[in-house]
Structure 1
Amino acid sequence: MGREALRAHLLAARLAGSVDTSRERSLRSYRLFAARDPRVLIGLDPERAWRLRDLLALMAEKCGVSADLGCVSGQDVIDPELTLTALDAFADRLGAAAQRGEPVLIGTGHPHRLLGFYAALADALSSAGCAVLTPAYGRRVDITTRFGLRTHHLVYVRGVGLVREPGAARPRGEPGAHTHSPLPVRLALAAAAEAGGPLPALVIGDHGWVCGAGQLGFDAMGPADTNDPALFVGEAEGSVSVAVPLDDAARSAYYRPLTRYVLKRACLSQ
């Protein structure tokens, strides 16, 4: 799939353009981030104080949302050109990892949506000779949720890290729990270090997987929605390598064209 065809797909699937994330939800996240609420920092410790106005200006630059504080309702907007440019950078870094045979760690807080996307990357990198790491498999991690503290276990599905609540039913075959927490990646990285390595040269994922790894000094990249400012702040401050503006909660099938585009550009198509 070429760039123009992918652009059309992004708009048709609402992965960019007018997205499902509401303006109200994004603004709430920006206010919480400005107040340094850990639920929205998701593992990042920003170097500077980010006022709401500054944060909105950054998100307008990185995602294409309106920079007008008076715009307080409706659906948020992602500029598809910014998505495509970031996807190119994402693919180029992926290709460099493959060429150098770098060890990689991949994880997601959106397993019900993005597992297929990440699993395809894991397969391609493994075939190229990269070690796809799975440290701390089965280890316990306690995560604060809106229902209180809940015990989860870190597992890997097709090379992709995610968390599950023990004994929890998985409706419609969903592979794991949705989370923004940086605790899973911290657990994985600590376990890799305790075992004497290898440590990842690149961490791929979303939410806390990217911000938690980037804050610890690891090269980290992944997609983020308009209500996830932490990844874009991390990119602006240098702790996140690539943040791809993208609706991260669409149907899993909608990400397949992105997978093909990224793997082709990274020279990893099979």
Structure 2
Amino acid sequence: MRTPPKDRESDLDRAPKWEPRYAGSDRLKDKVAIVTGGDSGIGRAVAVLFAREGADIAIVYKSNKADAEETASLVGAEGRTAILVRADVGKTSAGRTIVDKVVSKLKRIDVLVNNAGEQHPADDIRDISPEQLQRTFATNIFGMFYLVQAALPHLKKGAAIINCTSVTMYQGSGGLLDYSATKGAITAFTRSLSENLIEKGIRVNAVAPGPIWTPLNPRGGAPAEKVESFGETTPMKRPGEPNEVAPSFLFLACDDSSYISGQVLHPNGGTVVNG
């Protein structure tokens, strides 16, 4: 009998480490950030770190309200405001729904973190149904288009967009064909959107995590044996933690990276890739 998917962070055999590892220094003071997929994993770590640095957070989640509420309470514990926005980012109307609520409640948008994603392992390309293929692209890349389109009128000079791509874009992944293809699209989107928006003073960058211990892999249906050895093929011989990835997003969101756009950071356990 197949083990039920572990949908919540608390369901995992070992809790991911989301806690910021240092005191804040107001690098995002009084800014407003949207974090898609902010209920758990990398999104949770980013939301809490941004809050520690002074930002109010819009946590966008698809269905896991319990994890989203937990993340909101963690943001509140940092002394900042969190709002929850339930939305399926892959739907064409989601971008407008998210932006309208954020602007209504928090009045502005300074940082957009496109982090939401899904994956469904398949060793044979013939096992990827048209429905799965379309769904993976809708969530992972179409949703970024929809949200940027909706947010752009509210993004002013100095705003930042950070997209989550993956090491699989650079290495490939025989068992994640559709997922890896979307990550290649995200990297191209990041570079092209940077060229498109740079004259408006809006910077666009990306983060390409390696194997990070989050609910994404067990939730996506990865076999138990692969989950057990997850991350061991990296030079560091272990998976990363969400709080080892979140600082890359913070760097790209704040003025520390004011001369950087169209680039990708690689928190991946020491794997050397080009680009």
Q: Does TM, normalized by the shorter one, top 0.5?
A: no
Normalised by the size of structure 2, how large is the TM-score?
0.38
* Higher relative contact order, structure no. (Cα contacts within 8 Å, ≥ 6 residues apart): 1
More strand by share: 1
Normalised by the size of structure 1, how large is the TM-score?
0.38
